Amino acid sequence: MPKQIITSPDAPVTGFTDKGTPSPLAQAIRAGNLLFVSGQGPLDPKTREVASADIREQTRRTLANLANILAAAGLSMANVVNMRVVLRHTEDFPAFNEAFREFMAGEKVTRTCIGGTPHRKGVNVEIDCIASFE
């Protein structure tokens, strides 16, 4: 099966380019029975602006963007097997993790969380994921 590009109008296109420049990235690509979702940040899907400065709100918006892309592929968070998280400020981890736990509502995934610098000013969390169609 050739790779299939998945797109959702309910999540921003990533790439952190200016709003007038098309992103070089796909929101997600299906390859076989796996879906690889590009890193999402706390951007409003319509305005492509950072939704909030609060890490809890940023986490919820980021996860909602991921969930919307998964839904466009016919999947949900229950299909996610792995997530990678980048936090701009590692001291945000407890608040991030609290919002993450609430959003996931008991759903289990494997996850790596590191400190780093997302490319866009004001973005304090970025998350990508891999989901399975099986």
Residues carrying an active site annotation: 113
Q: Which residues contact 20 (CB under 8 A, 6 or more apart)?
A: none
Helix, coil or strand: residue 60: helix
Residue 7 is encoded by which pair of tokens? Answer: 């797109």
Q: Give CA angle at 33 (39, 99), nearest 5°.
A: 35
Q: Which residues contact 75 (CB under 8 A, 6 or more apart)?
A: 35, 131, 133
